[in-house]
Amino acid sequence: MTLDDFEQHILLAQFTSFKIGGPAQYFYRAKTSDDAVAAIALARSQQLPYVVLSGGTNVLVSDKGFAGLVVKMENDVITIFDTIVKAESGASMAVMATKTVEAELTGYEWGIGIPGKVGGAIRGNAGCFGRDISMNLKRVRVLYEQDDVVWMEAKQCQFGYRDSLFKRHPEWVILEAEFAFEKGDSELGKKKLREYIQYRREKQPQGVASAGSLFMNPMSSEVPADIADEARTAGVERNDRISAGWLIDKLGLKGKQIGGVKISEKHGNFFLNTGAGTANDMIELIRYAQQHVHARLGIQLHEEVQYIGF
């Protein structure tokens, strides 16, 4: 493999759910894990900066793009043997949820509502409905330092709320993962899938250019006591965290627009590209929301999104 095997000046907006982002200096579609390893080994040998995209659902790419190599993970094989599931990093979370239910496994139905891919979900320990991806994860196959490919046990990955060791080591690349589930009732699993899908249709904007939940939900202990009590009364506290969307809505910020981006009228934690939004517009809107929540409620909101090219 040489640099000539990479595409050049490919606009990244088309590969992100925000539909925002300038060109990549080099771009490569990795159809297999071995493809990804070879591409990144080359970038490392050339001292070329690199970044990995899987689903592109939780990233904001600079309007200037990325001066280096962007590897798009398109390795998407899912295999199931008894209660063990192996999924490559480019596999769809929703497809994996459906496949596990069809295989009469339970514990992953919630994944139907996550629009991204397995690799990105592991990096950010994605979750919803009181569960997250680390709960059934056994181990992760990673392109590590000095081009070594190793298996890391889940306990080594230092998972936390929307966090993992991979966020602190962006040079490591998740290639595939192994999960363990329990046997379950397929019909009950299908019912859960329908319920989760219906919930999201009712509560969250659909068919829009968004990264999903933009801010992490703050811990109840980090929220002023009176606001935490109000949140409990309103039913927006879960797992000792307060809904960031509820806090934004509480300040009347739904519908706030800057340039071509705005906060959804349907859900306060969904920031939308209306069609002509830029990365700079989105950053301004993010800062606007953070500043208002901090100034008026005394709460600091932190983004879930990964910034690329800034």
Is position 304 annotated as part of the catalytic site?
A: yes
The torsion of the CA quartet 213, 57, 166, 140, rounded to 10 degrees, works out to 110
- Out of 29, 162, 200, 241, the active site residue is 162
Q: What is the DSSP letter of 218?
A: P
Is position 54 annotated as part of the catalytic site?
A: no
CA–centroid distance for 63 within its chain:
20
Is position 195 annotated as part of the catalytic site?
A: no
What whole-number distance in Å separates Cα of residue 27 and Cα of residue 10?
7
- Out of 92, 210, 213, 264, the active site residue is 213
Cβ within 8 Å of residue 228, ≥6 positions away: 220, 237, 242
**By C-alpha distance, which of 310, 304, 210 is closest to 262?**
210
- Out of 74, 176, 303, 304, the active site residue is 304
CA–centroid distance for 71 within its chain:
16
**By C-alpha distance, which of 124, 109, 306 is closest to 200?**
109
**Active site amino acids:** 162, 213, 304
